[in-house]
Structure 1
Amino acid sequence: MARKFLYVVAILIALFIGARIALGFFPQQLTRLTLEPTSRFEPQPVLASNAYADPALWLSRPGITGEDPARWTPEGFVPDGPPIDAAVFFIHPTTYLKRDHWNAPLDDADALKFARVVTRANASVFGRAGEVWVPRYRQATFGAFVSDKPEARQALDLAYADVARAFDLFIAAQPAGRPIVIAGHSQGSYLAKRLTEDKIAGTPLAARLVAVYAIGWVVDPAQDLPRMKLPACAAADQAGCVISYLTFADQADVAMMRDAYRRLAGGAAAQATQILCSNPLTGGLGGSALAAANIGAIVPDVTMQSAKVTPGLVGAACAADGTLRIGEGPDMGPFVLPGGNYHIYDYALYWTNLRQDFARRVAAWQARR
């Protein structure tokens, strides 16, 4: 069984490295040829209103049987306090890297295995929450983010429809007045922004919102925050606000990330993109902090199944272009994208600090009640 799992991990790494090479060394036109699906978009029915009552459609939720990836903790981790009375809705990033379809089939075994791995590394930041819910969904394939075809937007609309269905069940399961958090990474953060606009902004749920962690995707303060009807988090003890950052080594090229955002934003938002830079080491907006303020990154092994807590690994400095810069960048394994893009490790590099950030913001929300 262990050998079979390692074989699957090796395949996933090989697939990712293929995408990595294309993204890092070839122009965007060739990147599209390498990653963009060759088939037409396949219209699919909206999931039934009660579809997410099935525990099989969740990676994490209360009462789940077997391992709960959101409750994972790394080697050397010291428990940091009792459960926190809050419920977190976390949307995992892209784990479907194939070109067969514009959207991942729910029965794709490779995408599911990789989703469990990244949920363990990312959603575990919120592991002290009383409830953490992480839905499976028909995510858009990786190639949708480098494509100019209308199918890319259709694929993301389908992914969003699933996430919105899951969120409705998540909210229905919460007692009145319980604080909630919306969080995601990469594609998950793109969907989290849209979810906040559609389901939170201007509704009674806004009063229950602790924060939106839209990490690993562009949040434009001028375009996105007004639609979300939320401010950026300007202080570590602020609630009802948005946290977002994109992690790069100092010499990294951020053009492709900007282009992906502009492509999907469309309209006026595509013309002038700003990037919100929350500092994960200070809890504030912009600025810089030395590595000594980093109380514990997690550094994974090659299988991405275990990791060690490593204090002082990197600092955090918000650059003039709005990205978060970390110096030359540490050796984190094969998933660092060429040119110093630490996208996969946005959460991992600040894992322990983000756990504390979550606890502080819930306490701030409770204090103002």
Structure 2
Amino acid sequence: MISANLIATLMAATQTAPVVPVATPNDYALEQNWLCRPDRRDACSTPSLDVTEVAPDGMRTVRAVARATAPEADCFYVYPTLSYDPGGNSDMIANEEERRVVEAQFARFGTVCRTFAPIYRQSTLSWLRSNMTGKPIPVDMELRYTDVRDAWRRYLAADNQGRPFVLVGHSQGSGLLKRLVAEEIEGKPVARQMLSAMLAGTNVAVTKGKDQGGDLKVTPVCRKAGQTNCVIAWTSFRETSPPEANSRFGRVPDATQDAICANPAALGGGMASANARFPAGAGIGDLVATSPRWTKDNAPFTTPTVAVPGLYSAQCVSVNGANVLSVRINADPADPRIDDVGGDVRFGAFVAKDWGLHLIDVSLVMQDMVDLVPVQLAAWKARGGK
């Protein structure tokens, strides 16, 4: 991850980066090119979804969580920037970082969806670092999108069969899905099947004062749980550290437009408790590599996921010209439970405040996202699949 004061440098570097040769398109008919597909053992189907709830008094309750046996909806996921591959674009071999982020951000959708997650040749962390050192390595920025698009087209042709679907993404993945909606879904018959596009950690522009226009011409913002064919987008900041004037998130360059904020925990607005789900060990969000101390006794957990009921609340706010998800931490330093799970982008001791809580955009509202799917599905069915 990078801080906003380096964005201009990175943008300039991409214009002068070495040209890469044209890549061969992936064949998404091959099982090996997917992290997740239905009816097989993979990154979505094998991890346990059980969760340990840690109450404010430190009491632990283990909740068993089962995957759906015959889900009526599909979920299609594009993961964020995380590859440590040495090139500007990642290869097509799933490493630990890809599997880890699927477990943290997407596997839980298996309780309500058939799960689809393609591997794609994303721009890598190695590429970002090369730009920051002034020695850019070759990268094909368009290849990221064409991979996702080709996987989507294969899914529609071979798997969809008229089923309703949800798009799920974070950061780089959300940006690619935003373009996919604009180019492959809006204005086409398949748009009637889209329950929602959940685009965490990216800016989605709408016409100022309206709920559509901008990046997506006709797809509106979701403003109630039963609304479908709409977009849910948010970027997260601490209530105590709102976005500053140089923030990368929550604002768009066009003065006639605003960035969307739609809170999965309360689409209608207002402050609501966020039903967060965090990895119990290393791997909070998508990049953090330290294990948190969940209780003062630091006792180990038997489940891969932890919930901290009541610790976080969130609401969409407009502050300093940005529309963001403002996150309140309801901590009690006197109780035995963790007071702050983190999620900031850090460079050593330096906190990149302009990125907010980017690393846990999804984890903060993980269960809220999942819980929206059956509500939207029921509304879609009640309208005759429209």
Relative to the length of structure 1, the TM-score reads 0.76
1:184 to 169, 192, 195: 169
Matched residue SS, 2:315: strand
Residue pair 2:67, 2:112 contacting (<8 A) in 1 also: no
Q: Distance in 2 between matches of 1:343 and 1:69?
A: 26
> Are the equivalent residues in 2 in contact too, given 1:32–1:146 (CA < 8 A)?
no
Q: 1:317 aligns with which of 315, 318, 326?
A: 315
Q: Is the 8 A contact 1:211 1:240 kept in 2?
A: yes
| Aligned counterpart in structure 2 of residue 54 of structure 1, from 22, 30, 38 | 30
Q: Which moved more, 1:246-255 or 1:228-237?
A: 246-255
Q: Kindly indicate whether residue 3 of structure 2 is the aligned counterpart of residue 23 of structure 1.
A: yes
Question: How far apart are residue 78 of structure 1 and its match?
Answer: 4.2
| Residue pair 1:87, 1:130 contacting (<8 A) in 2 also | yes
Counterpart residue number, 1:106: 92
Which residue in 2 is equivalent to 1:68?
44
Give ranges in structure 1 of 5+ residues lacking alignment.
Answer: 1-18, 263-268
1:102 Cα offset (Å)? 2.4
Which residues of 2 match residues 71-150 of structure 1 at below 5 A?
Answer: 72-75=48-51, 76-79=62-65, 82=68, 83-97=70-84, 100-107=86-93, 112-142=95-125
- Distance in structure 2 (CA, Å) of the matches to 1:147 and 1:361: 42
Alignment of 1:245-260 (within 5 A): 245-250=234-239, 251-253=241-243, 255-258=246-249
Aligned to 1:242: 231
CA contact (8 A) 1:210 1:365 kept: yes
Do structure 1's residue 304 and structure 2's residue 283 form an aligned pair? Answer: yes
Give unmatched runs, 5+ long, in structure 2. 52-61, 285-303, 331-338
Distance 1:303 1:37, change over 3 A: farther
CA distance in structure 2 between the partners assigned to 1:256 and 1:216 by the alignment: 13
Q: Cα deviations across residues 154-196 of structure 1 (Å, max 9, x unaligned)?
A: 7331100101111111111235321122221111110001111
Higher fraction of helix: 1
On the 8 A contact 2:112/2:370 being kept in 1, the answer is no
Q: Are 2:329 and 1:344 equivalent residues in the alignment?
A: no
CA drift of 1:133 comes to 0.4
Cα contact 2:25–2:147 (8 A) shared by 1: yes
Give the Å deviation of 1:331: 2.3
> Counterparts of 1:89 and 1:169 in 2: how far apart (Å)?
12
Pair 225,154 (structure 1): closer, same or farther in 2 beyond 3 Å? farther
Letter in 1 for 2:83: Y
Match of 1:195 among 180, 186, 195: 180
**Equivalent pair of 1:297/1:309 in contact (CA under 8 Å):** yes
Structure 1: which amino acid aligns with 2:90? Answer: A
Counterpart CA distance in 2 for 1:64 and 1:233 is 33
The structure-2 alpha-carbon separation of the partners of 1:56 and 1:65, relative to structure 1 and needing over 3 Å to count, comes to same
Q: CA separation of 1:328/1:271 partners in 2, compared to 1, >3 Å: closer, same or farther?
A: same
Cα distance per residue 1:187-206 (max 9 Å; x no partner): 11100011111111111101
The CA deviation at 1:73 is 1.4
Q: Report if the CA contact (8 A) 1:182-1:192 is conserved.
A: yes
The 5 Å alignment of 1:285-300 reads 287-291=269-273, 294=274, 296-300=275-279
Higher fraction of strand: 2
Question: Which amino acid in structure 1 is aligned with residue 167 of structure 2?
Answer: I
Change (3 A) 1:246 1:55: same
**Inter-CA distance 146–317: structure 2 relative to 1 (3 Å threshold):** farther
Equivalence map 1:213-224=2 (5 Å): 213-222=198-207
Q: TM-score, normalised by structure 2?
A: 0.73
Q: Does 1:275 align with 2:259?
A: yes
Q: How many matched pairs?
A: 327
Percent identity over paired residues: 26
Shift of 1:105: 2.3
Distance 1:366 1:120, change over 3 A: same
Larger radius of gyration: 2
CA drift of 1:216 comes to 1.2
* RMSD between superposed Cα atoms in Å: 3.6
Distance 1:176 1:309 in 2: 36
The CA distance in 2 between the partners of 1:67 and 1:53, in whole Å, is 18
